[in-house]
């Protein structure tokens, strides 16, 4: 008995020793798997209004880590809260680019996100704090001070060169040059003789090239003139520029102020070849009679990737492509306040699958801004280049790109595509009217976030679909948008990430009550992350009984979806198009139908609409709500309507006349 009595305490003593060890091992294992540890903080290229971050992490196997974001102007005391940085990675493997069978790249584990709607040229303090219900190991807080880019302006005091049109017969200011190539590169082309390597008289950074009024057009088929070689862009008609500016001192090409400057491509495939230059600023020019207005490079292994292009307050008409820059090493474009018109019909929808023009803007790279433009008559309006690479070894990732306050109409396929973007693609405050296909798109974007905030999407694809999400993004935010289509955003099988975070809040979708193959709500993706949100949206009450889908599960009605999933517990229904001040039901964009004039539609909510004050508060996105709470939809009652399209410049009156002609037979 004594031996037994001695044995029992010995076992207990062993258990008392082993249990804490096992407990500690279990805690360490849990920490290693689910707690998060911060690593390198990657600060992306700033834009005029946004700052972006990717904070690499380890651990957090269950994907519930975030980073709290606070910011303030430099010198202010009060911190402002913002949307968090969201989790990316989690073992996600993606192909190099859309639809290719090349080896896969593993998205690094990180939390990633942006601060938007900041002021240009302003310094900000930013505080990031890792949070995780399972614990944070190591340093949890990082604080940085950063500046947004200033909006580009032409200096008043700078060296000047003058360029006159070929038929100019008046007095000339000196120094004067025969054409743009001579003024910028320092050497004028003669027949087939070009000097583009270290020309001795090239314009220095900061030089202003003043283009004098008239039509700058040269007969590119004329080899000899008046007994000597004809100074022209012989045969190809392309203006190839190689002299470079700097970030602080671009080379500026602007009107002299003595009349409209028309640069006519004489039918050339490319007007401006900018593939070997950086930091050029074009402003106030009319560009016509060419396929590609500004060509900044194909994707390639050597060279390529223009930096610092500004195209501002220009009228670009009848082109196949406005700005084309498909090399992902491009950086810091400013495409601002332009009118860009494709070769599609300007007075009616031509419709998918045929189009006479490609893209108004198609960009790869980092730090780009495309804002306050009017674009119409293209296959797509404004796009990230779909073929951008995700694997950083290629140096071709497209990230930190802003599309905002653009006015886009009459596109055959999509208004805006985030396709090919890698992270921090931001689509804000755009107005998009008249599209017979899927109006906006993410196809595919490997990581994220991709932000769609306060956009208006109207008169589209039978009212069936708000967003094409083939491949989607691992983090996707659809906030405060107003559409005349149902909120259907399906993902094709095989493309969805295994775990995804979708934050879908405060959107107003007033799709049609009847039609073929309609669904009220369709949000599909990978397994929802712990930070998934689908709530506080508003729908057309007349369509309440249409089928729904969430997480690849189908439901016969909205009530069935809500009961089974717990999604949309605070969602409301509205009385169709009567909630708007002046936005009757559109014809939902059929082929060859007249256009709706977005300037004549008012999708502001009526003050007594049930969607007023019914939204959720989202830090940094709707803190300035005017009533008792944020309104659902793109526009807040009591706040000024955003500016869509050019804010000013020499072509506003011409644009107004164009819009009248586009919609003279439109349904209103």
> Phi and psi (nearest 5°) for 400?
55, 60
pLDDT at position 13: 38
Confidence of residue 646 (pLDDT cuts 50, 70, 90): very high
The answer to whether residue 663 scores a pLDDT higher than 80 is no
Q: What is the DSSP string of 75-106?
A: T----EEEEEEEEE-TT-EEESSTT--SPEEE
What is the phi/psi pair of residue 101, to 5°? -95, 20
Which pLDDT value is given to residue 12? Answer: 36
DSSP per residue, 51-75: EEEEEEEEE-TT---EEEEEEEETT
CA distance 152 to 206: 12
Instruction: Of 15-24, 84-93, 244-253, 496-505, give the lowest mean pLDDT range.
Output: 15-24
**What number of helices (H) and strands (E) belong to the chain?**
4, 51
Whether the pLDDT of residue 583 is over 60: the answer is yes
Distance of CA 171 to the CA centre of its chain: 46
**pLDDT at site 494:** 56
Confidence category of residue 491, pLDDT binned at 50, 70, 90: low
Statement: residue 10 has pLDDT above 80 = no
Asked if pLDDT for residue 6 goes beyond 80, the answer is no
The share of the chain scoring above pLDDT 90, in percent, equals: 68
Of 126, 121, 115, the closest CA to residue 76 belongs to 126
The pLDDT assigned to 346 comes to: 81
| Residue partners of 27: CB distance under 8 A and separation at least 6 | none
Query: 236-240, 466-470, 491-495: which range is least confident on average?
Result: 491-495
CA gap 52, 64 in Å, rounded: 20
Please list the helix, strand and coil fractions of the chain in percent, rounded to the nearest 5, in that order.
Answer: 10, 40, 50
**Residue matched to tokens 């694997």:** 391
**Mean of the per-residue pLDDT values for the chain?**
89
CA–CA gap between residue 239 and residue 542 (Å, rounded): 57
Helix (H/G/I), strand (E/B), else coil: 478: strand
At residue 465 the predicted structure's pLDDT band, cuts being 50, 70 and 90, is: confident
With b for 16 or more beta-carbon neighbours within 10 A and e for fewer, the 502-512 pattern comes to: bbbbbbbbbbb
User: Tokens standing for 402?
Assistant: 């802003």
Residue 605 confidence (pLDDT) above 80:
yes
- Residue 67's pLDDT band (cuts 50, 70, 90): very high
What pLDDT is attached to residue 550?
Answer: 85
Report whether 107 contacts 6 (CB < 8 A): no
Residue 49, SS3?
A: coil
- Statement: residue 117 has pLDDT above 80: yes
* In contact, 389 and 328? CB cutoff 8 Å: yes
> Is the pLDDT at 536 greater than 60, yes or no?
yes
- Which residue, chain included where needed, has tokens 């007033």? 510
Pairing of strands 548-550, 553-555: antiparallel
Q: How far apart are CA 309 and CA 43, in angstroms?
A: 22
Q: Which residues contact 144 (CB under 8 A, 6 or more apart)?
A: 41, 43, 125, 126, 128
pLDDT of 573 above 90 = yes
Give the model's pLDDT for residue 410.
93
Query: How far apart are alpha carbons 590 and 600 in whole angstroms?
Result: 20
Distances (CA, A) of 531 to 64, 86, 446: 7, 8, 18
Provide CB contacts within 8 A for 603, sequence distance 6+. Answer: 456, 458, 482, 580, 581, 583, 633, 634, 635
Q: Where does the pLDDT of residue 1 fall: very low under 50, low under 70, confident under 90, or very high at 90 and above?
A: very low
595 against 263, higher pLDDT:
263
Percent of the chain predicted with pLDDT > 70: 90
Q: Where are the domains of the chain?
A: 36-147
Give residue 126's pLDDT: 98
In the CATH scheme, what is the homologous superfamily, with its name and number, of domain 36-147?
Immunoglobulins (2.60.40.10)
Say how far apart CA 298 and CA 291 lie, in whole Å: 15
- Over residues 203-233, the pLDDT tens digits come to 999 999 999 999 999 999 998 888 888 888 8
pLDDT confidence bin for 193, thresholds 50/70/90: confident
Q: What is the pLDDT of residue 27?
A: 38
How high is the pLDDT of residue 26? Answer: 37
Q: Which of 122, 371, 165 is nearest to 256 (CA)?
A: 165
Q: Which residue, among 384, 456, 458, has the nearest Cα to 426 in the 3D structure?
A: 384
Query: In the predicted model, what is the mean pLDDT of residues 630-639?
Result: 97
Lowest mean pLDDT among 13-27, 301-315, 636-650: 13-27
Q: Does the pLDDT at position 492 exceed 90?
A: no
The pair of structure tokens assigned to 217 is 């057009």
What single string gives the DSSP state of each residue in 348-397?
Answer: B---TT--S--EEEEE-SBS-EEES-EEEEEEEEEEE-TT---SGGGT--
Q: In the predicted model, what is the mean pLDDT of residues 191-206? A: 82
Q: Select from 466, 390, 305, 371 the least CA-distant residue to 99.
A: 390
Instruction: Name the pLDDT band for 86 (thresholds 50, 70, 90).
Output: very high
In whole angstroms, give the CA distance from residue 523 to residue 525.
7
What pLDDT was estimated at residue 320? 98
């Amino acid at each position: 008995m004594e031996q037994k009595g001695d044995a029992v305490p010995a076992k207990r003593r062993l258990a008392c020793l082993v249990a804490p060890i096992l407990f500690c091992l279990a805690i360490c294992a849990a920490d290693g798997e689910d707690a998060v540890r911060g690593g390198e903080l990657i600060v992306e290229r700033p834009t005029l209004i946004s700052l972006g971050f990717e904070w690499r992490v380890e651990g957090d196997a269950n994907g519930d880590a975030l980073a709290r974001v606070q910011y303030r102007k430099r010198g202010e005391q009060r911190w402002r809260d913002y949307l968090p940085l969201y989790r990316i990675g989690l073992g996600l493997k993606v192909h190099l680019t859309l639809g290719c069978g090349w080896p896969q790249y593993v998205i690094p584990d990180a939390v990633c996100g942006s601060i938007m709607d900041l002021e240009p040229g302003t310094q900000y303090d930013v505080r990031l704090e890792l949070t995780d219900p399972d614990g944070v190991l190591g340093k949890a807080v990082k604080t940085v001070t950063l500046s947004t880019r200033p909006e580009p302006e032409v200096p008043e005091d700078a060296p000047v060169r003058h360029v006159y049109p070929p038929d100019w017969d008046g007095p000339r200011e000196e120094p004067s040059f025969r054409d743009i190539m001579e003024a910028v590169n320092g050497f004028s082309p003669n027949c087939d003789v070009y000097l583009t390597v270290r020309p001795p008289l090239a314009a220095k950074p900061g030089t202003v090239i003043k283009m004098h009024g008239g039509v700058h057009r040269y007969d590119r088929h004329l080899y000899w003139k008046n007994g000597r070689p004809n100074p022209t862009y012989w045969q190809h008609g392309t203006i190839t520029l190689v002299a470079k500016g700097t970030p602080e001192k671009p080379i500026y090409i602007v009107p002299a102020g003595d009349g409209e400057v028309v640069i006519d491509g004489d039918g050339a495939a490319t007007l401006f070849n900018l593939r070997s230059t950086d930091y050029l600023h074009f402003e106030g020019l009319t560009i016509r009679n060419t396929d590609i207005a500004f060509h900044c490079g194909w994707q390639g292994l050597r060279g390529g990737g223009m930096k610092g292009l500004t195209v501002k307050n220009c009228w670009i008409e009848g082109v196949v492509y406005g700005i084309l820059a498909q090399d992902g090493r491009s950086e810091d474009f400013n495409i601002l306040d332009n009118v860009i018109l494709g070769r599609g019909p300007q007075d009616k929808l031509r419709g998918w699958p045929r189009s006479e023009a490609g893209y108004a803007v198609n960009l790869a790279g980092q730090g780009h801004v495309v804002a306050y433009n009017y674009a119409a008559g293209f296959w797509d309006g404004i796009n990230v280049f779909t073929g951008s690479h995700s694997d950083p070894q290629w140096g071709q990732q497209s990230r930190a790109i802003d599309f905002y306050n653009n006015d886009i109409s009459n596109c055959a396929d999509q208004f805006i595509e985030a396709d090919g973007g890698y992270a921090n693609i931001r689509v804000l405050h755009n107005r998009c009217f008249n599209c017979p296909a899927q109006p906006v798109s993410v196809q595919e974007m490997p990581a994220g976030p991709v932000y769609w905030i306060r956009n208006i999407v109207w008169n589209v694809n039978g009212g069936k679909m708000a967003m094409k999400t083939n491949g989607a993004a691992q983090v996707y935010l659809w906030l405060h948008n107003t559409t005349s289509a149902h909120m259907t955003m399906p993902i094709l099988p095989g493309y969805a990430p295994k775990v995804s975070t979708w934050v879908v809040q405060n959107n107003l979708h007033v799709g049609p009550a009847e039609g073929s193959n309609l669904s009220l709500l369709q949000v599909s993706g990978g397994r929802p992350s712990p930070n998934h949100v689908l709530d506080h949206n508003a729908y057309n009450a007349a369509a309440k009984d249409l089928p729904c889908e969430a997480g690849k599960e189908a439901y016969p009605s909205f009530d069935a979806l809500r009961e089974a999933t717990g999604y949309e517990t605070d969602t409301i229904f509205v009385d169709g198009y009567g909630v708007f001040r002046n936005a009757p039901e559109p014809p939902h964009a059929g082929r060859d139908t007249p256009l709706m004039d977005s300037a004549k539609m008012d999708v502001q909510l009526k003050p007594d609409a049930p969607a007023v004050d019914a939204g959720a508060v989202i830090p940094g996105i709707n803190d300035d709500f005017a009533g008792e709470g944020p309104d659902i939809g793109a526009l807040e009652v009591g706040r000024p309507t955003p500016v869509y399209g050019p804010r000013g410049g020499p072509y506003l009156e011409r644009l107004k006349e164009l819009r009248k002609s586009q919609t003279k037979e439109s349904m209103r």
